[in-house]
Structure 1
Amino acid sequence: MCGIAGIFDSQGQAEVNLDILQAMNQVQFHRGPDEGGHFLSPGVGLAHRRLSIIDISSGQQPMLTPEQDVGLVFNGEIYNFKSLRQELEQLDYVFSSQSDSEVILKGWQAWGEQVVDKLRGMFAFAIWDKNQQCLFIARDRLGIKPLHYALLHSGEFIFASELKSLQVHPLLPSELSAAAISDYFSFGYIPEPKTIFEQVFKLSPGHCLRVVKGESLPMPRQYWDVSFKPSAAVDTSEHTLIEKLKEAVDIRMVAEVPLGAFLSGGVDSSAVVAMMANAQPEAVNTCAIGFDVKDYNETDFAAQVAKHYHTAHQVETVAADDFELLDELAYFYDEPFADSSAMPTYRVCELAKKQVTVALSGDGGDEVFAGYRRYQWHMKEEKMRRLVPESARKPVFSALGQWYPKADWAPKVLRAKTTFQALARDTLEGYFHNFSIFTEEQKSQLFSDKLKQQLAQYRSIEVFQHHAEAFDGDDALSLVQYLDLKTYLPGDILTKVDKVSMAHSLEVRVPLLDHHFVEWACQVKPEQRLQGSNGKAIFKRALEPYLPNDVLYRKKMGFAVPLAKWFRGPLKGKLKQALSSGLMSQTQLFNQDYLNTLVEQHLSGRRDHSAALWTLLMFEAFLKKQAGQPQQQLDSRA
């Protein structure tokens, strides 16, 4: 795992400022503490930080052809690099290393842009081709590895693994994006291709971009998408599931450094550990984080799996009020990010790094096999939408949604206001409404007149509408899974893991997001994925010979933290201070009276605004980072 950065003069051959390039590279030191390097040629500069995993003795980057007319910087792992190497050797390409990086380099020479279609793995890379006078960047299909870019008014095209690396460049525009701010307060993260900055972008998963000298910047090209179109030719049996899962895990166990796995005690991580244990004779290194509050502690279930497979298991207990990480997380996430489970994820990566350099995780199982509880609620709402004609449904449920009180204190079955509001909407709007941290109505109260004027007619549901246009399935469950694969998975889950794992120089591999496995799983019938209230039904049944029923069929917990309790206790003072701070008011983005109302209602116990308040707190942490961190600040871990 690594960090990449670069500068390309898209209009001429201006000399690249080496000091800026090196500073861009150094600020990502934590991504690759083992080695660093750079390459300069007229009009281009490439830089790389390396975390050595495969071919440790060679494979240094930037990697160049002998003629130095093609250069590569690459972050990730290519799991089919050996078979691709054989294919290239048959085409008379000669290799000087055993690395997967060189396969991409020679693959570009052989196949050009189509090299991305052949790669199986997680990756973000850039290739400079002197003869074609172009720079080519690409990101893996599911968005496991990040890649940011911007075109500066100087004509320089800059790219990097992390946003903070681009911020080092003195010409980077720093105007905040109104649409990104709106998206953040809906989703809790900023979905691709936006970033918090108006003129800076993330390369979307499954996309590539070719920048040709002297030509205007084109739109990124999509080279892959997942299909939910039913196909009778696909064998979706439980036996096939296990065979494909075994293969996805097996190819991710190649490393020249210590390797292990996260073991939360949930179905997905337990499945990965089970496959690893069956694939190797020695004990699997596993680790788990426990909390000192019983309701948030899953370590007993992790211990069951560890005992069953005789893993070398490590457990550490952290305080449930482990919120001291707040400001540090703001540094690593670069832009506002409101998933509070980033804190325990940071701790489990910290623990894993004591034992291994590579860890396999179970991320992606909920999106691929419909494991989230929100899918169950959505399908129940869909059933009601089908039963009640739209002409009656919208006015009736709109009125009920308006009339019914917001009862955060009541049992969930009595908290019907959100459900009524969702039922008054169509499928897409209903799912978006249930998903949103702040609804559009709440954002109208939260945002200042200035911000609302900047937003004009923009609404964050456009993110879903854009992706829904490309959906090729024919059922409501597959649609919302597709939306999550395009938004929540890369924008939240994978971003969360990448940032905090790289903070500890730990590589995380995700076998459940092997694109061959995902393509197969999306052909599984909806009723095989979600059966009533049993999500991941086929996945659990297939795993019954491998895992205890207590692990497979227990209530889903997730990596939650007790936000509501924190804000009425130890974070009370910090919350008040942050939301009334000069930073929040100076932005002129928010209605201060509404902020005060949210705090007062939550502290009084009348309402639970914990998710909304955490989202605001993390936005303030971002503002504080922006105000207090000079652009040229280097990573303190260097």
Structure 2
Amino acid sequence: MCGIAGLFHTRDKREFPRDLVQRMNDVQFHRGPDEGGVHFEPGVALAHRRLSIIDLSTGQQPLFNEDGSVAVVFNGEIYNYQELVPELERCGHRFHTRSDTEVIVHAWEEWGEDCVRRFRGMFAFGLWDRKRETLFLARDRLGVKPLYYALLPDGSLAFGSELKVLMQHPALDRRIDPCAVEEYFALGYVAEPRTIFVGARKLGPAETLTVRRGEAVPAPKSYWDVRFTLDNPIGLADAAAELTERLRESVRLRMIAEVPLGAFLSGGVDSSAVVATMAGLSGDPVNTCSIAFDDPAFDEAAFAQQVAGRYRTNHYVETVQSDDFELIDKLAVLYDEPYADSSAIPTWRVCQLARRKVTVALSGDGGDESFGGYRRYRLHMMEEKLRASLPLGVRRPMFGVLGRLYPKADWAPRVLRAKTTFQALARDSVQAYFHSVSILRDDLRRQLYSSTFKAQLGGYNALDVFRRHAANAGTDDPLALVQYLDLKTYLVGDINTKVDRASMAHSLEVREPLMDHPLVEWLATLPSCLKVKGNEGKYLFKKAMEPLLPHEVLYRPKMGFAVPLARWFRGPLKARVREAMLGGTLASTGLFNADTLRHLVDAHQSGARDYSAPLWTLLMFESFVRQSGALAGSVEASRVAV
């Protein structure tokens, strides 16, 4: 795993300052502490930080083709590179390393922009072709690896693995994008293609950007999408057998490394399945790493131990204290823009533990999205049955009134907490799902924002992110639609972002066998009844894993990777939260209604309401603003078009 950076002048061949390029590279030292490389030529600068995984002796970057006319800086892994090498050699290309990186330059020479369609892996890269005077940027299909870019006022284009790389450039427009703020408070992250800053963008999953000198910078192009056809006639037994084989292949490809390798083991279905598969492919005990919690309500260590014991892994466990909140300010810096998933804390800790033992770790990320594991999927499907029974014209007024009048009852048994369900039934499918996953829902965001900020938003609502993706989903199946939305939003903006930054902060490479794109494509052909059956999520996956995993691991209630926010904000962090909400930092931005901020703190700390999620979201925003210097007057009043 690595960090990449670069500058390309779209208009002329002026030289870039070496000290600037060096700063851009040095700020991501954590992504690649083993080696660093830079390349300069008129109008181009490429930089790279290397974490050595494959071809330790000759895999340095930037890496060039035979005549030095094509150069690449690359972050990630091309898992099928060993298959592509002989194919490219038959086409006349000559390899001088054993690195997967070299496949990229020759694949570009042979197939041009279509080279990315041949790659199976996680990747983000910048490639310079001197003969064509072309810069080519690309990102993997599911957005595992990040890539940021910015077109600067002088016509130069900057790119890098993290937003902090671009922030080294003095010409970057660092005004805050109000639409990004809206997306953050709805979703807990800023969705692709926006960043928190007006002047920077994220290249989306499965997107490329081809920039030719002397031409206008075009919009990124998509080269892949997942299609939920749901038309595979396969039966349960055959599907379970094929799934097992597909998982074995995906895991096998991700076990190729020349450094110590292991896996995260949470005790959940996904990571346990990965570990069980690894054990069947390895002659040596698998290295596994788990985080335990001293609060039993959040601890899954006993289930992880069951799997570790069954497969005799070299199992390493570290206990996280229930008051482990010292990372708050560190996380705000690590993510470069507001990011509100509190499970970033235990994720950071498990990456810290894993790096002491291994350099590469396999994870179970992506399983919930493709196999149908989230509880919210089952609730959405139940609501969809009710929505289908009444037209929207009837549902909207009837359930809209009930949703407004029914009291919020966080304290009550779940069966009596009907307010959210009534609100959902008054909406269409996409709007209802957006409502269910929003951290601060529409009504609370309206109360939170100042009148000035609402005017700056100009009516923009983060729901537009879901609407845009839903228009491309190609399915109206209730489960498939929300799976597609999560693959495009939550998986990329939340899960992959969290794991990439937390792992790279410790110079740890994390690989994701459940996000293997051929596996994802195949799963999308299966009918939804094989994914969610009755009240059982991941139905097929669990059936396939029954010979390999204990029943208690497969069929216990899902816990998640959570921290006790509600207790923190009424106890050890009580004063800090109050100061953050009511102090000068948030007030100076001009974004918020002071009365709403006070209500959130008072109601939560009195025990009247559980506002832990909104308060955490605000706390992380306050930390970002305070540490980045993004203060009052920095918010851009006009919306930036996607």
TM-score, structure 2 normalization: 0.97
**Structure-2 residue corresponding to 1:149:** 149
Deviations, residues 184-232 of structure 1 (Å, cap 9, x unaligned) = 0000011111100112100000000001111111110000000102334
- CA distance in 2: counterparts of 1:488 and 1:469, whole angstroms: 17
Report the Cα distance in structure 2 between the residues aligned to 1:390 and 1:216, rounded to whole angstroms: 45
Question: Helix, strand or coil for the counterpart of 1:77?
Answer: strand
Match of 2:301 in 1: 299
The Cα offsets for residues 412-465 of structure 1, whole Å up to 9 and x where unpaired, read as: 221111110011001111111111111122111111122111110211110000
Equivalent in 537, 544, 548 of residue 535 of structure 1? 537
Of the candidates 561, 574, 577, which is equivalent to residue 576 of structure 2?
A: 574
After superposition, the C-alpha distances for 1:385-433 in whole angstroms (9 at most, x for unaligned) are: 1123333211111111011001111122211111100110011111111
Question: 517-526 or 58-67: which moved more?
Answer: 58-67
Please tell me whether residue 39 in structure 1 is matched to residue 39 in structure 2: yes
1:78–1:120: 8 Å Cα contact kept in structure 2?
yes
CA distance in structure 1 between the partners assigned to 2:233 and 2:108 by the alignment:
33
Question: For residue 437 of structure 2, what is the aligned residue in structure 1?
Answer: 435
**Correspondence list, 1:137-536, <5 A:** 137-232=137-232, 237-536=239-538
Q: 1: CA distance between counterparts of 2:478 and 2:630?
A: 46
Give the C-alpha shift of residue 234 in structure 1.
Answer: 6.6
The secondary structure found in structure 1 opposite 2:275 is helix
> Any conservation in 1 of the 2:3–2:49 contact (CA below 8 Å)?
yes
Q: C-alpha deviations, 1:297-349, integer Å up to 9, x for none?
A: 00000000000000000111110111100011111100000000000000000
Say which SS state the counterpart of residue 122 (structure 1) adopts.
strand
| Structure 1 residue 77 corresponds to structure 2 residue 42 | no
Whole-Å separation in 2 of the counterparts to 1:395 and 1:167: 48
Match of 1:583 among 577, 582, 585: 585
Give the deviation of 1:283 after TM superposition.
0.2
Confirm or deny: 8 A CA contact 1:230 1:473 kept in the other structure: no
In 2, distance between residues paired with 1:254 and 1:332? Answer: 29
**Secondary structure of 1:547's aligned partner:** coil
* Counterpart Cα distance in 1 of 2:339 and 2:33: 25
Per the alignment, residue 14 of structure 1 pairs with 14
Query: TM-score, normalised to structure 1's length?
Result: 0.97
- Give the distance between the partners of 1:232 and 1:502, measured in 2 at CA: 39
- Name the aligned partner's letter for residue 110 of structure 2: A
1:48 match? 48
User: Per the alignment, in what secondary structure is the counterpart of residue 326 of structure 2?
Assistant: helix
DSSP-derived class of the 1:473 partner: coil
Q: In 1, distance between residues paired with 2:599 and 2:202? A: 35
Judge conservation of contact 2:232–2:526 (CA < 8 Å) in 1: no
Amino acid at match of 1:258: P
Residues 230 and 528 in structure 2, CA contact (< 8 A), matched pair in contact too: no
C-alpha distance in structure 1 between counterparts of 2:446 and 2:26, whole Å:
41
For structure 2, the residue ranges without an aligned partner over 5 or more in a row are: 632-642
Amino acid at match of 1:380: M
The aligned amino acid for 1:610 is S
Q: For residue 324 of structure 1, give the secondary structure of its aligned residue in structure 2.
A: coil
Q: CA RMSD in A?
A: 1.1
* Structure-2 residue corresponding to 1:634: none
Using the TM superposition, give the Cα deviation of residue 581 of structure 1 relative to its aligned residue in structure 2, in angstroms. Answer: 2.4
1:468-523 CA deviation, whole Å, 9 max, x = no partner?
11111241110000000000001000100000000000000000000001001111
> 5 Å matches for 1:44-123?
44-123=44-123
**Separation in structure 2 between the aligned mates of residue 310 and residue 325 of structure 1, nearest angstrom:** 33
Aligned letter for 1:469?
A
1:606 alignment partner in structure 2: 608
Work out whether residues 234 and 523 of structure 1, in 8 Å CA contact, stay in contact via their aligned partners in 2: no
Q: Deviations over 1:340-377 (max 9, x none)?
A: 00000000000000100000000000000110000011
- The alpha carbon displacement at 1:383 in A equals 1.0
Distance in 2, matches of 1:254 and 1:232, equals 31
Relative distance call for 1:25 and 1:584 in structure 2 (3 A) is same
The one-character-per-residue Cα deviations of 1:157-207 (angstroms, maximum 9, x if unpaired) are 000000011001011000101111000000001111110011210000000
Which AA in structure 1 matches 2:182? S
Alpha-carbon distance between aligned partners in 2 of 1:350 and 1:484, rounded to the nearest angstrom: 28
**Is the contact made by 2:229 and 2:526 (CA closer than 8 Å) also made in structure 1?**
no
**Aligned with 2:469: secondary structure?**
helix
Cα distance, 1:233 vs structure 2: 6.6
Size of the aligned set, in residue pairs, is 629
CA deviations on 1:223-271 (whole Å, 9 max, x unpaired) are: 0000102334778611101010110001100000000000000000000
Answer yes or no: is the 8 Å Cα contact 1:5–1:47 preserved in 2: yes
DSSP-derived class of the 2:629 partner? helix
- Give the aligned partner of residue 3 of structure 2: 3
